[in-house]
Structure 1
Amino acid sequence: MTVPPSPRGPVLIVGGGLVGASLAIALDVAGVDTMLVEAAAPRTDAQPSYDERNLALARATVNGLEAIGVWTHAREGATAIERIHVSRAGEFGSVRLQAREAGVDALGWTLPARELGAALLRRLDECTRLQRLAPATLEAIEPFAEGWRAQVRTGEGVRQIDTPLLVGADGTGSFVRGRLGIGAETFDYGQTLFVCTVTPEREHGHRAYERFSDEGPVALLPLAGRRCGLVLTVPGSQAEAVAAMDDAQYLALAQRRFGWRLGRLARPGKRFPYAIQRVAANRLIAPRAVLVGNAAQTVHPIGAQGFNLGLRDALTLAELVAAAADPGAERLLATYAARRAPDREGTMAMSHGLVQLACLPQPWLAPLRSLALLACDRVPPLKHAVLRRGMGFRGQPPRAVLERAP
């Protein structure tokens, strides 16, 4: 059965993950008619991106979530990050960042992805200019004079939807990106990320840790109830052996890699592995089409920049569309690509370069790395730049993420 074409032309977002849902909400706030195609049913246990990761949300990200009405549903489960400690195993340099140095109460917040997903679902239910097709799958697209004609399969049959702007928010292996003929560069880090929760012997004091080593980075993120989110990177060749470890063996590995700054680590939660790749689309736009979030760029999780970068994509696009008569106009999309370029390229270069340099097992690099960390910690202009970029204020940020006076 084929459902008749939609009588209007909403902005069509393909992908209902964290970034796609955020964009749909931002467009609804702006009064833009929007349709969201979600492959999964609208439940936190069905959406793959609403998983067990603990997200480090930059301050700019929380500002943006607050501006579109999501944070009110999420703040209860969030834990403030007031300090960040960055170091490398066996080397003397380190960086200590504090919220008070930036004149703010927190540099960011930690929030489980599943809880952010639940907050997004609650906020989506409040939208009035949004149509949601879930579960639904985009099967084909073809261009026509005013935009794209999409064939979307739902439980009721195939629906034809005409849109003046097609948005690919469908993740790293983006179907939309492929159908638009946009290529992507892929870099396999040969690493696997394991995430779980642990309880340290000492209070975390709202401090997050990032520690580098020859084997890859490890992070500890503050959570409520003295818990911490542990992010442990291992070489891909060791992933099966690490996955097969019992809790005691895994804790011993984590302790060796992280150290004893918080005392003994205990009570590990269930572990979840993620293979790590860098995927960067060769361009962000096509005629009346745009890529956002992981469909545009999937970055190494070092520094926890993935969702933060993707939300700035979404909020910048929503800001431009809200002020335009034609959401798919060539000039609008060119402006979007130009505005996102410094943030996107800078963040990708930082995450890629940092993991390559900080984890490179070359003894002669040790003093250079330590001096670089010391400079970032002791030279005020450098430290200010690190603080600002770490909080998500890079390039020309969308207005929604900027600080507002109390």
Structure 2
Amino acid sequence: MQPPDHPADARHDVAIIGGGLVGASLAIALDRIGRHVALVEAAPPGALPAVFDERNLSFAEATVHGLRALGVLQKLRAPAGAIRRIHVSRQGDFGRVVLDAKEHGREAFGQVVVARDFGQALEARLSECTRVTRYRPMRFEGSDPGDGARTLRLRDADGQEKTIAARLLVGADGTRSGVRESLGIGADERDFGQTLFVARVRAERAPDGTAYERFGPDGPTALLPRGDGHFGVVHGVARADADAVAALDDAAWLARIQAAFGWRVGRLLATGPRSAYPIVQVVARALVADRAAIVGNAAQTLHPIGAQGFNLGLRDALTLAELIEGHDDPGNATLLGEHARRREDDRNATLQFSGGLATLTAGDDATLRPLRSLGFAAVARLPALRAHLVGGALGYRGDVPRLCRGDA
């Protein structure tokens, strides 16, 4: 039986602000190890957060392991799409990179799951948690450090204030994190000048397990193999063109994707609704503070190229949960310092990969074409370089949390 909302005894081991992908996953991981959790959510009961829309999430193998250990993937009602091959190319450049999971002893690199379906699976799993108290709909107003805990100030939809206490505050509240700001943690921003459109498309040829990423001067165009026989399309455009692209009718939209992507899956026949998101990288200058930590997009919001964002955020969450499992006090300064240390290599490598790839593949500078073509050739021929890319695609960078290695 799940604990009642808003109990009179409002002291918790951990308070998580944000019930999206990473925040909900962390709550489940902490419930699993017997910690009492407050999950503060903006969405009311019965409604999914806005992040659970038609976006297509690419789960690396490490993420699949972690979510299966948490009992979340078992709750999916819609089929996931296996990523058995990764095909990378760029308009106007010679060469391509094709990675095949079987060549590396795997059935698949990961899975594609629709964000809405994943949100429903998380909700189903949360309903089974016995130590998660959900405060919703509520906004985080701030927190004050105290003796062994933080006092959190919350406000409900009617404007009524509530205070709760937690030995650890975790900000999982997205790119414009109120927790990060309240802790005085600064962030560095990089606007890529691009807008990303996502949708569902149907093609002449059904998905066969290949995830395509086609780079162009204004950003990437990816076709991801969904489990429902459609492709998830991700299409980057220059910010100045975003309004015009949003206004296209379905036929013109499909023609634009066809021109950017090519004919590898035949003619594109139909599309679902489009959503648009500006691409801005936001990187926090610290991951921890006094009895506080930030994870997921609150810690780093990446360029979506290579589909690294949620995978990195889940590794944030599961690393923190793993450390908390071994300590009596989840807000202990030594624990939080160890969390920041363990996340450093993975975080830096993933930021360098996504940001560097976005810079190298964007623009239309002809002088870069030979360099990019040489890069494609090197990946195709050098086993060590291919192995490095495969490790990243599988989600194994830096100090990987135990559950992501498949150790339940």
Give the TM bin, normalised by the shorter chain: over 0.9
> Aligned match of 1:41 in 16, 41, 44?
44
SS in 2 for 1:120: helix
> Aligned match of 1:164 in 163, 167, 174?
167
Q: Return the alpha-carbon distance in structure 1 between the equivalents of residues 295 and 269 of structure 2.
A: 38
Q: After the TM superposition, which of the residue ranges 221-230 and 232-241 deviates more from structure 2?
A: 221-230
Cα distance change of structure 1 residues 306 and 231 upon mapping to structure 2, 3 Å threshold: same
Is contact 1:84–1:98 with CA below 8 Å preserved after alignment? Answer: yes
- Structure 2 partner of 1:56: 58
CA RMSD of aligned residues (A): 1.6
> Aligned match of 1:252 in 252, 255, 267?
255
Is contact 2:77–2:121 with CA below 8 Å preserved after alignment? Answer: no
Q: Return the alpha-carbon distance in structure 1 between the equivalents of residues 168 and 27 of structure 2.
A: 13
- Structure 1 partner of 2:192: 189
Task: Summarize the alignment of residues 235-274 of structure 1 with structure 2, pairs less than 5 Å apart.
Answer: 235-274=238-277
Q: Which amino acid aligns with 1:334?
A: G
Q: Which amino acid aligns with 1:354?
A: L
SS in 1 for 2:11: coil
SS in 2 for 1:50: coil
Q: After the TM superposition, which of the residue ranges 143-152 and 58-67 deviates more from structure 2?
A: 143-152
Is contact 2:199–2:234 with CA below 8 Å preserved after alignment? Answer: yes
SS in 2 for 1:152: strand
2:303 aligned with 1:300: yes
SS in 1 for 2:271: coil
Q: Return the alpha-carbon distance in structure 2 between the equivalents of residues 81 and 42 of structure 1.
A: 34
Is contact 1:6–1:162 with CA below 8 Å preserved after alignment? Answer: no
Is contact 2:198–2:234 with CA below 8 Å preserved after alignment? Answer: yes
**Structure 2 length as normaliser, TM-score?**
0.96
1:306 Cα shift? 0.9
CA offset digits 1:130-160 (Å, max 9, x no partner)? 1111111112211112121111223684222
Paired residue total: 402
What is the percentage of aligned positions where both structures have the same residue? 50
Q: After the TM superposition, which of the residue ranges 147-156 and 225-234 deviates more from structure 2?
A: 147-156
**Structure 1 length as normaliser, TM-score?**
0.96
- Structure 1 partner of 2:3: none
- Structure 2 partner of 1:96: 98
Task: Summarize the alignment of residues 95-114 of structure 1 with structure 2, pairs less than 5 Å apart.
Answer: 95-114=97-116
SS in 1 for 2:143: strand
Is contact 1:77–1:115 with CA below 8 Å preserved after alignment? Answer: no
> Aligned match of 2:230 in 205, 227, 232?
227
1:42 Cα shift? 3.6
Is contact 1:216–1:234 with CA below 8 Å preserved after alignment? Answer: yes
CA offset digits 1:270-326 (Å, max 9, x no partner)? 111111100001100001100000000000111111111100000000000011011
Show structure 1 runs of 5+ residues with no match.
none
Q: Which amino acid aligns with 1:199?
A: R
Is contact 1:6–1:160 with CA below 8 Å preserved after alignment? Answer: no
Q: Which amino acid aligns with 1:149?
A: T
- Structure 1 partner of 2:341: 338
Cα distance change of structure 1 residues 75 and 385 upon mapping to structure 2, 3 Å threshold: farther
CA offset digits 1:249-288 (Å, max 9, x no partner)? 1111111100111111111111111111000011000011
SS in 2 for 1:317: helix
Q: Please identify runs of 4+ aligned residues in structure 1 that moved more than 6 A.
A: none
Is contact 2:287–2:295 with CA below 8 Å preserved after alignment? Answer: yes
> Aligned match of 1:394 in 391, 397, 402?
397
Is contact 2:101–2:107 with CA below 8 Å preserved after alignment? Answer: yes
Q: Return the alpha-carbon distance in structure 2 between the equivalents of residues 177 and 4 of structure 1.
A: 26
Show structure 2 runs of 5+ residues with no match.
1-5
2:17 aligned with 1:14: yes
1:4 Cα shift? 9.0
> Aligned match of 2:180 in 177, 180, 195?
177
